[in-house]
Structure 1
């Protein structure tokens, strides 16, 4: 999982807010999908710019991640590099696009987890909320702070907000 840090947590939270408030979302659009919305926040590129970069090569986010080369000079690879500089991994990006990270999924109630849809705005928001919450907990622990919430309260604050 991503390296917990305030910048990444803030970017996830801003992405959550934007998606919750009606930001463009279209799973099949490289700049407006799960990764595309987070990329907008981390890179300050528009959805159109991200999509244009992606169209210079073939494939969706997962294929672009598989072909990622930090020295290729392709704009998509430079954008992915910038995202990785925030503490993300290539696996994080692949999981985000499919809503599939096992650590995040185990923090979502089973009945909801079993119904997650990778191209549902609401499910992406839920996934990002849980992810941001897990990263915040890790960050606080790294900083020597103790998180004094019970597992139920943590889950409520992450999932039901």
Structure 2
């Protein structure tokens, strides 16, 4: 699963919001599919620019991510590198494109169900659920030292009684 971080969570939410607002969506187009829309948010590139870069590789985003080589610096590799620096793995990229991560699907509003990879509303639901899963993991990873509670007991008491 992706490395939870604020930038990735916000990028997923921004992508969902843009899709809800009518941003161009076409699953069969590298520049405006699931990953293409996420890349538009992350890179500020247009769908046309992303399509041009993606066509320097062979295959769908799943294959592009699996064949990624960070040393070549080919344009498609720059896009994959951007997604990986954001915290995504090749498996995450595949799952975004096909809406398949069971953990994300288990966190859909209304509970688990299979989604269709080429249905805008399903993509929005997946991005939102993915952001929620990562946010929960990020929050749960925060450790507050016990000393902080002892030295700020009055603040803790105020929070408890609020």
Root-mean-square deviation (Å): 1.3
In the TM superposition, what is the alpha-carbon distance from 1:126 to its structure 2 partner?
A: 0.4
What are the equivalent positions in structure 2 for 1:140-151 lying under 5 Å apart?
Answer: 140-144=139-143
In the TM superposition, what is the alpha-carbon distance from 1:89 to its structure 2 partner?
A: 0.9
2:122 aligns with 123
| Residues 30 and 36, structure 2, Cα contact 8 Å, conserved in 1 | yes
In the TM superposition, what is the alpha-carbon distance from 1:30 to its structure 2 partner?
A: 0.1
Cα distance between partner residues in 2 of 1:73 and 1:132: 29
CA offsets per residue over residues 111-149 of structure 1, 9 Å max, x none?
A: xx13x100000000001111000111111112248xxxx
1:48 aligns with 48
CA offsets per residue over residues 78-120 of structure 1, 9 Å max, x none?
A: 111111111111111010000001211222324xx13x10000
Unaligned runs of 5+ in 2: 145-162
In the TM superposition, what is the alpha-carbon distance from 1:76 to its structure 2 partner?
A: 0.6
1:102 aligns with 102
| Residues 30 and 54, structure 2, Cα contact 8 Å, conserved in 1 | yes
| Residues 35 and 61, structure 2, Cα contact 8 Å, conserved in 1 | yes
What are the equivalent positions in structure 2 for 1:19-98 lying under 5 Å apart?
Answer: 19-98=19-98
The runs of 4+ residues in structure 1 deviating greater than 4 Å are none
Structure with the greater alpha carbon radius of gyration: 2
2:156 aligns with none
2:148 aligns with none
Cα distance between partner residues in 2 of 1:95 and 1:125: 14
TM (norm. structure 1) is: 0.84
Farther-moved stretch of structure 1 (58-67 vs 116-125): 58-67
2:11 aligns with 11
TM (norm. structure 2) is: 0.83
CA offsets per residue over residues 8-37 of structure 1, 9 Å max, x none?
A: 111111111100000010000001000111
The alignment of Structure 1 onto Structure 2 pairs a total of residues equal to 142
